[in-house]
């Protein structure tokens, strides 16, 4: 029993999830969909919280720190110059970084990927760290980085969910689309950010039905893009994990899971940037057409026959 405790991996890591999977009864592993879904969620949550896929600790040179944090040495130097990272330990001409730097660097990278500016990151870190220790910073990292799932469902009384939508017909459509799930007197909003966006756009006079129509048209296109991206990333995994064959070792499996997590982040960043650029161009074209039409109409009115010229 003591041996089992000694060999048991640290909780919350990919290794611990795999350890628990192996210990589960065979009938549970093979026949419980919920068990598999929970294990998948735990694997990716562990990878998100530990992006390096390992248990690195100690002291790192700047190249090692950049590799573990998934960034570049140039970025590290920029963050140092901007006051986001504390100074490293100097041993002669060598700069040595530690786990505090690694944690901070992952946090900075995560916040910047989510649209914060360097100035915002510095302000938030400074405010958070007043009187707090590394454990609190790790808590902040978890709060900001979150888990594998982009949105966490929100459960509330059914009446509150109805008020949130504010339209009986639209509420029923959202239930049919599983954006909202109803169970007795409770409702779970599976896409709270979507509902928040709907309500903001509704404030500009766009009807909820129109917004839901757009959502129904957009989702298949987004799923198609997602399928293309995931298949591209999965090709690498399929080459290393063969159906019906034994899984690779924990370290290699953790590396694969981590690679997919990083792939998700980079794919989202790429698609977001491309979509933003496309939307900007489309909006500019729309405004240009509106202005052109306005100027054309103004010219027509001024050139209309019989118009008196002011002398």
> pLDDT tens digits, residue range 242-297?
666 776 677 677 777 777 776 776 777 778 778 888 888 888 888 888 888 888 77
Closest CA to 241 of 230, 255, 225, 227: 255
Would you state the pLDDT for residue 263?
Answer: 75
Does CATH number 1.10.1660.10 belong to domain 62-136? Answer: yes
* Structure-token match 């002398």, residue found: 311
Q: CA angle 233-238-241, nearest 5°?
A: 130
Q: What is the 3-state secondary structure (H, E, C) of 44-110?
A: HHHHHHCCCCCCCCCCECHHHHHHHHCCCHHHHHHHHHCCCCCCCEEECCEEEECHHHHHHHHHHHH
CA atoms in the 13 A half-sphere facing the CB of 255: 10
Instruction: Tell me what pLDDT residue 5 has.
Output: 47
* Residue 131 DSSP label: T
Residue 52: per-residue pLDDT: 45
Q: Which of 145, 150, 134 is nearest to 102 (CA)?
A: 134
The radius of gyration of the chain's CA atoms, rounded to the nearest angstrom, is 26
Residue 1, pLDDT score = 43
| Integer angstrom CA distances of residue 87 from 65, 135, 143 | 13, 19, 25
Identify the pLDDT of residue 176: 95
Residue 88 CA: distances (Å) to CA of 77, 95, 104, 123, 154: 11, 6, 13, 21, 42
Q: Comparing C-alpha atoms, which of 180, 146, 178 is closest to residue 160?
A: 180
Q: What per-residue confidence (pLDDT) applies to 160?
A: 95
**Which two structure tokens, joined as six digits, stand for 158?**
């059914």
Domain parsing of the chain, residue ranges: 62-136, 147-219, 240-294
Mean pLDDT by 10 residues, the chain (311 residues): 54 74 66 70 68 52 86 91 87 82 81 77 70 48 52 88 94 95 92 91 92 94 86 72 68 72 73 82 87 78 60 45
């Amino acid at each position: 029993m003591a041996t089992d405790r000694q060999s048991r991996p640290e909780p919350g890591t990919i290794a611990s999830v795999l350890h628990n999977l192996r210990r589960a009864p065979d009938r549970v592993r093979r026949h419980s969909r919920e068990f598999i879904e929970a294990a998948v969620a735990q694997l990716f949550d562990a990878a998100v919280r530990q992006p390096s896929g390992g248990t690195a600790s100690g002291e790192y040179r700047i190249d090692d720190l950049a590799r573990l944090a998934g960034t570049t040495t140039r970025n590290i130097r920029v963050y140092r110059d901007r006051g986001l990272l504390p100074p490293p330990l100097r041993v002669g001409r060598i700069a040595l970084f530690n786990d505090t730097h690694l944690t901070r660097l992952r946090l900075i990278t995560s916040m910047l990927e989510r649209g914060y500016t360097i100035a915002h990151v510095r302000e938030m870190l400074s405010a958070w760290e007043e009187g707090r220790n590394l454990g609190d910073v790790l808590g902040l990292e978890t709060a900001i980085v979150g888990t594998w799932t982009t949105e966490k469902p929100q459960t509330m009384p059914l009446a509150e969910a109805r008020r949130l939508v504010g339209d009986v017909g639209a509420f029923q459509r959202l239930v049919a689309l599983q954006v909202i799930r109803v169970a007795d007197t409770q409702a779970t909003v599976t896409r709270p950010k979507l509902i928040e966006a709907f309500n903001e756009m509704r404030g500009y006079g766009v009807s909820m039905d129109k917004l839901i129509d757009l959502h129904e048209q957009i989702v298949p296109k987004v799923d198609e893009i997602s399928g293309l991206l995931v298949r591209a990333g999965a090709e690498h995994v399929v080459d290393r994990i063969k159906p019906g064959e034994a899984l690779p070792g924990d370290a290699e499996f953790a590396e694969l899971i981590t690679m997919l997590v990083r792939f998700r982040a980079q794919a989202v960043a790429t698609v977001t940037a491309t979509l933003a650029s496309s939307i900007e161009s489309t909006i500019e074209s729309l405004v240009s057409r509106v202005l052109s039409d306005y100027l054309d109409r103004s010219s027509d009115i001024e050139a209309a026959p019989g118009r008196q010229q002011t002398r």
